[in-house]
Structure 1
Amino acid sequence: MRNTIMLFSALAILLLNTGFSFAAKGDIYQIKIYHYSSSAQEEVIDEFLEKAYLPAMHRAGIDHIGVFKPRASTEGNKPEEKLIYVLIPFGSQKEFSKIESKLAKDEEFQSAGATYLDAAYTNPPYDRIESILLNAFEKNPNYGVPDLKGPKKDRIYELRSYEGHTEKISKNKIKMFNDGDEVGLFKRLGFNAVFYGEVISGPTMPNLMYMTTFENKADRDAHWDTFRTDPYWKELSALPQYQNNVSKNVTKFLYPTDYSDL
């Protein structure tokens, strides 16, 4: 964990010193994906996130942290995947660059997270952490809190990644969401989106990612049936300028943990 903290702090400082700007305006999102092997590791990660990390992030002014797990045996997920997804929305590059130093000074965080933070090398709490950074889309500059009423255990959070053949082609798909108002279409059809973002650092670039949410699997399927037959989508997807702008679509079906803010 501390090596990860040092890496992202160094990355943030380097990018800021070189004049790089994550985004002109809008949120910055970080998705941390914990890879683990055992139920014992899962328990340690859950306890750390619930009792230490989320409360510390709240004290630091980050109001909503999403914590999700793969929905087993659902199309798009591999049953053997042992993953925990953590979605962190930052309001600015400054907020992102300063968060790790704030956590390092938070004594309550250090104490509550001691089992995880001070784990011995012979008993690591996870196998690896994957991290993805994203800029919010211009058309949807801020994250949303889903308006769902049903039990968390039944909910479907659909995380999609659209990869592009080249940077230019990937930008074209993002333009389809912004200028083509695919974002507006999702909103009109009630997809309860959490975020839309362009990946600026991650393992499958160039790509964009977004997350939509539903009460359950049947609700999810009904929404997509409506989307596919919507007259505006048929018109938009047929436009010549938006053809062949996705090389791979990876879809993950998740559910929120009991302690998730989102």
Structure 2
Amino acid sequence: MSKIYEMRVYRCLPGRLPNLLKRFENTTLELWKKHGIRQAGFFTTAVGESNQELTYFLEWDSMADRETKWTAFMTDPAWISARAETEKDGQIVGNIVNQFLVPTAFSSVK
């Protein structure tokens, strides 16, 4: 069975993208490691609708795998504390859009 990929797009409030990148690099990725969350790539927008976006992909074994690990991460006191600390000067992300994707038979990613 194919993996499931979650594409998440975070549109930041004006000027806040550097804060989001710093939070991922210094905090979020370590917490994901703790919870077994696997990233499959991070991207900023060079050309497109907004250069204030971070797009990234997560790899899951199943929707149940996602539910278990994501819930554990989102309720982790270390994440709740870190998020509050990084947003003490104001909200960073204006909105989040996510999609769950399944590779086609001919995809280079399985």
TM-score by length of 1: 0.39
Deviations, residues 152-208 of structure 1 (Å, cap 9, x unaligned) = 1xx321000100121x212111111123x2122122211121112222222233110
Distance in structure 2 (CA, Å) of the matches to 1:190 and 1:259: 27
Paired residues in the alignment total 108
Distance in structure 2 (CA, Å) of the matches to 1:219 and 1:184: 19
Deviates most, 187-196 or 245-254: 187-196
Residues 59-208 of structure 1 correspond to what in structure 2 (within 5 A)?
Answer: 151-152=1-2, 155-166=3-14, 168-179=15-26, 181-208=27-54
How large is the Cα RMSD of the aligned pairs? Answer: 1.7
Mapped pair 1:254 → 2:101:
yes
Do the aligned residues in 1 keep the contact of 2:40 with 2:59 (CA within 8 Å)? Answer: yes
Match of 1:216 in 2: 62
Do the aligned residues in 1 keep the contact of 2:13 with 2:91 (CA within 8 Å)? Answer: no
Distance in structure 2 (CA, Å) of the matches to 1:207 and 1:257: 26
Distance in structure 2 (CA, Å) of the matches to 1:241 and 1:177: 16
Letter in 2 for 1:192: R
Task: Compare relative contact order (CA 8 Å, sep 6+) and give the higher one, 1 or 2.
Answer: 2
Please state whether the residue corresponding to 2:51 is helix, strand or coil: coil
Where does the alignment leave 5 or more consecutive residues of structure 1 unmatched? 1-150
Distance in structure 2 (CA, Å) of the matches to 1:233 and 1:193: 17
Do the aligned residues in 2 keep the contact of 1:159 with 1:212 (CA within 8 Å)? Answer: yes
Distance in structure 2 (CA, Å) of the matches to 1:165 and 1:235: 21
The alignment-based identity, stated in percent, is: 29
Q: Which has the higher strand share?
A: 2
Shift of 1:222: 0.9
Structure showing greater radius of gyration is: 1
Where does the alignment leave 5 or more consecutive residues of structure 2 unmatched? none
